[in-house]
Amino acid sequence: MGQLQGIKYTKDASGYNRYVHIDLQQYGNDELLEDFLDRIDIEARKGEPSIPLEEVVARENKRRGLTQNV
């Protein structure tokens, strides 16, 4: 794997790439990085119960004292 400027790989005791260090000043506003981090968040939340949108809207409307659903 070639070395990219602003990206470093750290190997584990077995010699496999284990960690990626990303220079956020260089790549922090990159859409691909944002997509990658979003994907990590999605994977971490897999299996969590979901709430239907209508229920979320109803709760927020009640909390804000609104009577109509948006």
Return the pLDDT at 54.
94
First to last CA, the chain: 50
pLDDT for the residue 1: 54
Rounded to whole angstroms, what are the CA distances from 13 to 2, 9, 16, 20? 21, 13, 8, 15
- pLDDT tens per residue across all 70 residues of the chain: 567 888 899 999 999 999 988 888 887 777 888 888 899 999 999 999 999 999 999 999 999 999 765 4
pLDDT for position 68 = 64
Question: By the 8 A CB rule, do 7 and 21 touch?
Answer: yes
